[in-house]
Amino acid sequence: MTMSLVQTIEVGSGGANSVEFTSIPQDATDLLILMSARHQDAGLEEGELTFNSSASGYSTRLLQGSGSSVYTTSTSSAAFCKTTFVTDSAATANTFSNIAIYIPNYTSSAAKSISIDGVTENNATAARQTILAGAWTGTAAITSLKIAIFSTLKYAQNSSFSLYKITKA
């Protein structure tokens, strides 16, 4: 099968500062992570994606629209690859951000590229839609990945993270 689910992690009561996929199978070509996430505190924050417990070599460049303005920024040589914004507690109840993270050639011995699309959800005029280009200088195959939320904040209960593997012809 070309595309198959590896694992889904759903946050339980009490929340979680991070989720981690370990022992990622090395028998496919690309990885796709789909996030439906909300965090427990007020204020938009971004997820923090790392591979193989590495805390160096991440770069990003993003474009974001808020409904009233457009914004672009970048990071380099950072400790993590930022994801797009995660819906916060001030947003409409029961709304979660939708984020897709695509990582091609995750088992290769070359540096890794990352493509992220995300949108916060809110029953109001203020929401954020973001596209992001990421890179990791690491040349090891990706065997684990963690997506944390800023500092000591926590993903809210019912946030879900699904990891898929995709195999080329």
Partner 1 sequence: MSYTAIASQTLTSSAASVTFSSIPTDGTYRDLVLVINATVSGTNTTPTFTVNGNATGYNQVWAAGNGSTTGSSSTSADAKFYLSYYNNDTTRQQHTIHFMDYSVTDKHKSVLIRSDQASTGTTMSAGRWANTAAITSITLLPQSSGSLTWSTGSTFSLYGIAA
C-beta of 142 vs 153, nearer to partner 1: 142
Residue 88 CA to residue 134 CA, distance in Å, equals 23
Instruction: Say whether residue 89 binds partner 1 (CB under 8 A).
Output: no
Q: How far is the CB of 144 from partner 1 (least distance, A)?
A: 21
The residue length of the chain stands at 169
Using the CB atoms, write b or e for 99-117: b if 16+ within 10 Å.
Answer: bebbbebbbeeeebebebe
Sole binder of partner 1 in the list 111, 124, 126, 140 (CB under 8 A): 111
Residue 154 CA to residue 40 CA, distance in Å, equals 6
Please say whether the beta carbons of 115 and 106 come within 8 A: no
Q: Does 73 bind partner 1 (CB under 8 A)?
A: yes
* 3 interacts with partner 1 by CB under 8 A: yes
29 binds partner 1 (CB under 8 A): yes
Tell me which residues touch partner 1 (CB under 8 A). Answer: 2-3, 29-30, 59-64, 70-74, 102, 104-105, 108, 110-115, 117, 131-135, 166-169
